[in-house]
Structure 1
């Protein structure tokens, strides 16, 4: 079976992306810091007939991501789809007027550095196989003006830029890379902001392999 690996898996959007791909016949590898929470998610998916397994890693420690991805390959086989959407709410978010290198660097290290480590670990195998999909997720501030998250959005915009350039650089291969920016209060009550609804956009990107980016807007920001 094909395999999707979700970095930053949680009980909201991550679970629904796993469920959406699992219903398409994918096995699922879930990656996050807490093994007990991963086991609970895997149990939920397993009860629905989706083969899922959790692997612990910390995006802020790139070596743990590389180890986890190696363990996933050894246990479940090659990774066909990598979805990258970690979050660290302990990192300080500041207004655009208050951005300094001191509060910006941790955001760059986590989001962009984490992606460089994770995506860099799977791309060689995908390129060699001439097949594979990478889907990268951030908030909508990577595209639109949200000054209250000034430092976060710099890191997210940098990640967007690299993702789009990766897609262009890999255009002549069978590897597809796409960026998803979400402007929504996920699970906040609007039907189009429900995680299960948003997750279908990921399946569509994977199946169509056409657009390099998607700005998913579920409310007027």
Structure 2
């Protein structure tokens, strides 16, 4: 049974993506900081082979350990979906406009988004390359593509992640592994967005998929 691993799983989009892939026969491994959150997510996936693995993305050894547990309890990860997002005030993760960006307030965002993505990817990519198959999906907000002054420091980190993913997409093009950046630019319900992730995975084309209201409408019209 192929495995979907979601880093930054939550009760919104993460749970909806888990349901979509679970309905397609995937085992689902959910990674989040809180055991209570994970237990609630697993309970919301009846009929799906799902399990939760606590890890703090800012604590990279704990993230590595979570993937070791996943490897021990599931078949190899076929799809990695990386979409951590602060769900309220987080120590160190503050917003700063361009004039207020500093090393102190931008570094935590690089730790959260860029270093977190690199760490998670490093746990599954070698196996994908060995098998010659796999999908890596990285979700950010639209500020990774279009600058938003209010998110000056966050945008820098997400843009750096986007740059790496687009390069990763090109580097993996002839190796059977697919990588793509998914910037979310819509407040649509998670259940309306999640099926698009399945389509991105199965099509395996393009290094970036902007999910906007227009994109979702055009998908429904297909």
Both structures adopt the same fold (TM-score exceeding 0.5): yes
Q: Which position in structure 2 is the counterpart of 1:189? A: none
Equivalent in the alignment of 1:6: 6
Name the counterpart of 1:83: 81
Distance in 2 of aligned mates of 1:26 and 1:17:
11
Cα distance, 1:183 vs structure 2: 1.3
Distance (whole Å) between structure 1 residues aligned to residue 213 and residue 9 of structure 2: 21
- Report the Cα distance in structure 1 between the residues aligned to 2:200 and 2:108, rounded to whole angstroms: 30
* TM-fit CA distance, 1:120: 1.3
Equivalent position SS for 1:80:
strand
State the TM-score, normalizing by the size of structure 1: 0.92
- Residue in structure 2 matching 1:208, options 194, 200, 203: 203
Name the counterpart of 1:33: 33
Structure 1 partner of 2:175: 173
CA–CA distance in structure 2, aligned partners of residues 10 and 73 of structure 1: 21
Task: Tell me the number of residue pairs that the alignment of Structure 1 and Structure 2 aligns.
Answer: 210
The residue correspondences of 1:140-159 to structure 2 (distance < 5 A) are 140-159=142-161
Q: Distance in 2 between matches of 1:131 and 1:174?
A: 5
Q: CA deviation at 1:100?
A: 1.2
TM-score by length of 2: 0.92
Q: Unmatched 5+ residue regions in structure 1?
A: 186-192
Which residue is 2:15 aligned to?
15
Provide structure 2 residue ranges, at least 5 long, that are not aligned to the other structure.
215-222
- Is the partner of 1:216 in helix, strand or coil? coil
Of 184, 192, 204, 1:182 maps to 184
CA–CA separation in structure 2 for the residues paired with 1:20 and 1:170: 25
CA displacement at 1:77 relative to structure 2 = 1.9
Q: CA RMSD in A?
A: 1.1
Distance in 2, Cα, partners of 1:99 & 1:36: 35
SS of the aligned residue for 2:108 comes to helix
